[in-house]
Amino acid sequence: MAARIMQAAKCPTDELSLTNCVVINEKEQHFEEHVTVRISTHKYVFTLKRHPSVNLGTIGFSLPQRKWAVLSIGQEVEVTSYKFDKSRQCISTMMVDIDFLQKKNADSNTYDSDKMAIEFILHFNNQAFSCGQQLVFSFSDKLFNVKIKDMEAMDPSILKAGQASGKKPKVEIGLLLANSQVIFEKSPDSSMTLVGKAKTRGSRQSIISPDWNFEKMGIGGLDKEFSDIFRRAFASRVFPPDIVEQMGCKHVKGILLYGPPGCGKTLMARQIGKMLKAREPKIVNGPEILNKYVGESEANIRKLFADAEDEQKRLGPNSGLHIIIFDEIDAICKQRGSMAGSTGVHDTVVNQLLSKIDGVEQLNNILVIGMTNRPDLIDEALLRPGRLEVKMEIGLPDEKGRIQILNIHTARMRQNELLATDVDIEELAVETKNYSGAELEGLVRAAQSTAMNRHIKASNTVEVNIETAEKLQVSRLDFMASLSNDIKPAFGTNQEDYASYIMNGIIRWGDPVSAVLQDGELLVKQTKDSDRTPLVSVLLEGPPNSGKTALAAKISEDSQFPFIKICSPDKMIGHSEIAKCQAIKKIFEDAYKSQLSCVVVDDIERLLDFVPIGPRFSNLVLQALLVLLKKPPPKGRKLLIIGTTSRKDVLQEMEMLDAFSTTIHIPNISGGDELVEALELLGSFQENERASIARAVKGQRLSIGIKKLLMLIEMAAQMDHSFRVTKFLSLLKDEGALGPKASVVI
């Protein structure tokens, strides 16, 4: 149909203004139900109504329509009929922003968006709508300003015999039908309070960015921790608010992330802020809060929460989420009353923080994330439900986590083909037991440095060899060199620690030694495999110099546990009783952080400061050891404790033997055959010399520890060959290990 030039006019009545239709005279018969109005270069589609009070040749627009189309009274417009393609332009879902038409009429009542949607469809059924269009909507005797944000068309494949494709195409112009869905959202800065399901689709999707993933975030090995945090802290925020309201559920307001340094606490907190479509997180280092002026520290806490308080007053339940991240929270939230002689600043800071998170005037739009390596220092009131109630340990990554972390840190090298094909990430993950995320990153850096170093010319000046540098690749050998030389785990096995105890190897001089090692192997297997006994402890007891410490070190080394530590008296020389207790406690606490741990408590009577004169011993250390020997590790962790002592009788009196699961006796060498076997394994004497010694000790009762025997052999070895055997037997007699009748027959 041909276009017609008409003049723009005002809508004749307020009632017609609320219909969202343009109005022409009832005698105009040129147009169908919907029309296109062309204003200069723009086209707008409206639904048509007829009314006798409109002059012929004019077309009436309401004020919102004139504002939207930038149209003035009397302006000439071109009007043509418009026909909808109902296979592609029927509205499935319409997203609209709503606010009070006049701010002075705003109120704090709740408006049910479900009822609004029903009313909206009844009022505007079969009408044309465009994205960006503005209109006035009357509901509950109040006028609201509505703006069309987004529209999706019904899937045309639904009309066919096949299945729907699932994709709903966007439309700029659509027709509202009785089965369309209208989703209301409050306009930005609106003080309206909406309830009901019809406004929740956007709310559910808006809090979490749809495109985040662990790889992009640079976080690995924390999948379980992330899922636990989401379950506790974000499920209620993502769920439809009306269901949350019906359940009377309150949002979690605080999370405490704790664990060893370098395991990703700060990284996780930083990325939670990026992952959520919330306000920019406020990141605070604990010590920054403290101020030398009275009251300033508390004022700094209040400033952190000011924005959240202001928004909650204005917008109520519709307020956005405010995230406040406290790094090193133990610096400002120490136990109240714990600092003798202090000014009490820490106490008032804790009080201020408690009142803001969960005081009389509760804030429901905040999430406080605290991070610390020392959760034991934090005031317990801060950790109860309603405050930092989600306590999440960010521990050392397991093998799967280490694979993820290494993949993240080698991704760029892999993309640019700078990682050699012989580098096996899974092999590296096995080799890096008890490495934290930061240590794994350091390992990759060290391997890169090793690889780069190969391409530096060794001359008077430091230069890069450009010819070979272009072929730079980080190989398996670079990683292995960095593993053995550069990066050692802070919580793990210090090989030098126990290597010194078995530097001469284990001398299997007889069945007793093999039996001890077999029993040790069984105890290691029990620790690994048994679900009923997460704590296994064994006491190796026997005379001095019988090799107890070496056997304990050998059992721990063969266990291949990721965490092995030796608690030895030689590292606690000069320690006070309290310092000694703290050092022992720290070793056990570190052990609890690993999945599988072995602690060797060497020379227990020396740790206890035992002397027979008196007798005297440290009761404080004794009680600490008794508690730690019986204390099972946390759930999911396994611990093997190997104790050594030369004074079983003393431990019996102290009631310490009962703290061990089992006791194994380590005997001295007590027979000539065993002595000769030990000499043969040590290889210090020739065959004819060993035969002489065997004849000399035949029928004699022996009692010598392998450690003492080794010392005597080395002393005799310094003599001339013809005197070595005589000197050795003489030394044995002097030590009381051999009877006086022994003589040398050559």
Name the token pair of 114.
């479900």
DSSP state of 61: E
Q: Is 602 a catalytic residue?
A: yes
Q: CA separation (Å) from 673 to 509, 515, 517, 617, 676?
A: 9, 17, 20, 40, 5
Residue in the structure block whose two tokens are 């329509």: 65
Q: CA 452, CA 348: separation in Å to the nearest integer?
A: 53
Q: Is omega for the bond preceding 740 within 30 degrees of 0, making it cis?
A: no
User: Which one is catalytic: 356, 602, 638, 644?
Assistant: 602
Measure the CA–CA gap between 308 and 323, rounded to whole angstroms.
9
Residue 223 near residue 209 (C-beta atoms within 8 A): no
Single out the catalytic residue among 186, 253, 356, 548: 548
Q: Is 707 a catalytic residue?
A: yes
At residue 336's C-alpha, the angle toward residues 330 and 338, to 5°, is 85
* Residue 587 structure tokens: 């070793």
DSSP string, 482-511: HHHHT---SSS--HHHHHGGGTT-----SH
Q: Which of 609, 707, 726, 727 is catalytic?
A: 707
Cβ-contact 387, 253 below 8 angstroms: yes
Instruction: Give residue 678's identity as a one-letter amino acid code.
Output: A
Residue 286 is which amino acid? G
E strand or H helix at 389: none
Amino acid at 658: D
Closest CA to 330 of 253, 235, 243, 265: 265
Checking DSSP bridges between strand 76-82 and strand 34-39, what pairing results, if any?
Answer: antiparallel
In whole angstroms, give the CA distance from residue 298 to residue 348.
Answer: 7
Q: Which of 313, 400, 571, 630 is catalytic?
A: 630
Out of 200, 549, 644, 645, the active site residue is 549
For the residues of 564-602, what is the DSSP string, one character each? EEEE-GGGSTT--HHHHHHHHHHHHHHHHTSSEEEEEE-
Q: Which whole-number Å values give the CA distances from 65 to 27, 72, 84, 89, 94, in the listed order?
A: 23, 11, 20, 21, 19
Contact 551, 706 (CB under 8 A): no
Q: What are phi and psi of 374, to 5 degrees?
A: -125, 75
Q: At 293, phi and psi to the nearest 5? A: -85, 145
Identify the DSSP state of 703: -
Q: For residue 255, give both structure tokens.
A: 């999370």
549 catalytic residue (yes or no): yes
462: helix, strand or coil:
strand
548 catalytically annotated: yes
**Integer Cα distance of 714 and 708 in angstroms:** 10
- Render the burial of 95-115: b for 16+ CB within 10 Å, e for the rest: bbbbbbbeeeeeeeeebbbbe
Q: Residues near 77 by Cβ (< 8 Å), separated by ≥ 6?
A: 5, 6, 7, 8, 37, 38, 39, 59, 71
Instruction: Give the residue among 300, 304, 277, 280 at the shortest CA–CA distance from 288.
Output: 300
Is 152:92 a contact under the CB 8 Å cutoff? yes
- Told to judge if 586 belongs to the known catalytic residues of this protein, a careful annotator would answer no
Q: What residues are annotated to the active site?
A: 548-549, 602-603, 630, 707
